[in-house]
């Protein structure tokens, strides 16, 4: 009996092709959609997530961040941590990008901002560039992309502590600020409780409960993402409740958003190039990319209240940070998901 040719597969309907394209691009990932939904929900019901809400959001998110780092520590043995801490080139690159490359780029761009409005906008962008990297989101993105997790935890943690010194130092040199040393010390203590101690506790319990964390890492990853959604929701609720965006035209925010995207992609490209020149492994390059390109909305909000107390410009100071924070999560989420899907193929090769 002659072999009959297999009929060609029927083409997908246009709507199915669109869905497939969006899924490959990472735009149908539930976490990304959740981020968009969190911002939209914050716009509709800002009082629910603001400081005026009876729900103790700060306590919830603080506990959530601590749990994230406890379970990350639980998945790390002391041997792995020691190996990660010895990677000094990676750590130097990440911290130099965070605290030197970002502010220098802002200083180079200073002549592009003229007039009083331009000067105020530049100050807010410069403040953004002096901030430390995010803590939880940097580590989560590195985990999703399958990067060097021990190095990510180290860099995200140390960045927050270094920022307590360097952010006020940078801003005092170029902006008019005032800060209370006691408040900054309190911030350092808070970061220690939320980040360093949970990681240490997890690492110490690794031998006893590490296998449990590995077996349930999928569920733990989802819980990490839920905590980030809560942080984004409450941060945007507070901004909408205080009317941070009220005095800006949509065109102004769109142009500023475009500038923040450009800044993120520029830094991402710089880190990628440096990582290639230095011969970083794929895992180390991922860690450098996601830890070096982030800026912390949580720390920025606290720092702004300390460095710019009771000023009308506080809202303006936070606006670029709000946009950068949202855009960096969206862009990083897409990139991390794609890198995570590519990793098995790289390993197989």
Half-sphere exposure of residue 313: CA atoms within 13 angstroms, side-chain side = 16
The string of pLDDT tens digits covering residues 58-106 is 788 778 878 877 887 787 767 766 666 678 899 999 999 999 999 999 9
Structure tokens at 291: 């830890």
Q: Where are the domains of the chain?
A: 53-341
**Whole-number mean pLDDT of the chain?**
77
The string of pLDDT tens digits covering residues 139-175 is 888 888 888 888 888 887 788 778 877 888 898 888 7
Distance CA 341, CA 345 (A): 8
Structure tokens at 207: 């031998």
pLDDT of amino acid 265: 92
The string of pLDDT tens digits covering residues 306-342 is 676 544 455 567 778 878 887 887 788 788 878 877 6
Which regions of the chain does DSSP assign to beta strands (E)?
none
The string of pLDDT tens digits covering residues 4-38 is 555 555 555 554 554 554 454 444 567 767 877 88
CATH no. for 53-341: 1.20.1530.20
What 336-339 contacts at long range (C-beta under 8 Å, 24+ apart), as own/partner pairs, is 336/141, 336/142, 336/144, 336/145, 336/290, 337/26, 337/29, 337/32, 337/144, 337/145, 338/25, 338/26, 339/144, 339/145, 339/146, 339/147, 339/286
Across 12-16, 207-211, 258-262, least confident range: 12-16
């Amino acid at each position: 009996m002659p072999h009959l040719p297999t009929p060609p597969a029927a083409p997908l309907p246009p709507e199915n092709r669109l869905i497939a394209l969006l899924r490959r691009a990472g735009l149908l990932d539930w976490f990304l959609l959740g981020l968009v939904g969190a911002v939209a929900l914050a716009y509709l019901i800002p009082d629910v997530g603001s400081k005026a809400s009876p729900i103790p959001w700060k306590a919830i998110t603080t506990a959530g961040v601590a749990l994230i780092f406890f379970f990350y520590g639980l998945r790390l043995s002391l041997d792995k941590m020691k190996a990660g801490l010895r990677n000094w080139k990676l750590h130097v690159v990440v911290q130099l990008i965070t605290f030197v490359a970002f502010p220098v780029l802002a200083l180079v761009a200073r002549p592009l901002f003229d007039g009083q409005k331009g000067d105020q906008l530049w100050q807010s962008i410069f403040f953004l560039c002096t901030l430390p990297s995010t803590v939880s989101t940097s580590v989560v993105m590195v985990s999703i992309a399958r990067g060097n997790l021990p190095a990510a935890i180290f860099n995200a943690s140390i960045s927050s502590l270094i920022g307590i010194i360097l952010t006020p130092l940078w801003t005092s040199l170029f902006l008019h600020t005032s800060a209370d040393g006691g408040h900054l010390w309190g911030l350092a203590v808070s970061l220690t409780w939320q980040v360093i101690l949970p990681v240490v506790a997890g690492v110490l319990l690794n031998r006893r409960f590490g296998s449990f964390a590995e077996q349930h890492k999928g569920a733990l990853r989802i819980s990490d993402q839920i905590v980030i959604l809560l942080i984004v929701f409450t941060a945007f609720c507070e901004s909408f409740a205080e009317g941070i965006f009220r005095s800006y035209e949509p065109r102004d925010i769109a142009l500023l958003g475009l500038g923040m995207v450009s800044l993120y992609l520029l830094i991402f490209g710089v880190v990628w190039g440096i990582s290639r020149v230095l011969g970083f492994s794929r895992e180390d390059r991922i860690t450098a990319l996601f830890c070096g390109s982030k800026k912390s909305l949580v720390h920025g909000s606290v720092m702004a209240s300390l460095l710019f107390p009771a000023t009308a410009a506080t809202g303006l100071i936070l606006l670029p940070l709000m946009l950068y924070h949202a855009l960096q999560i969206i862009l990083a989420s897409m990139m991390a998901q794609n890198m995570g899907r590519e990793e098995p193929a790289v390993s197989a090769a």
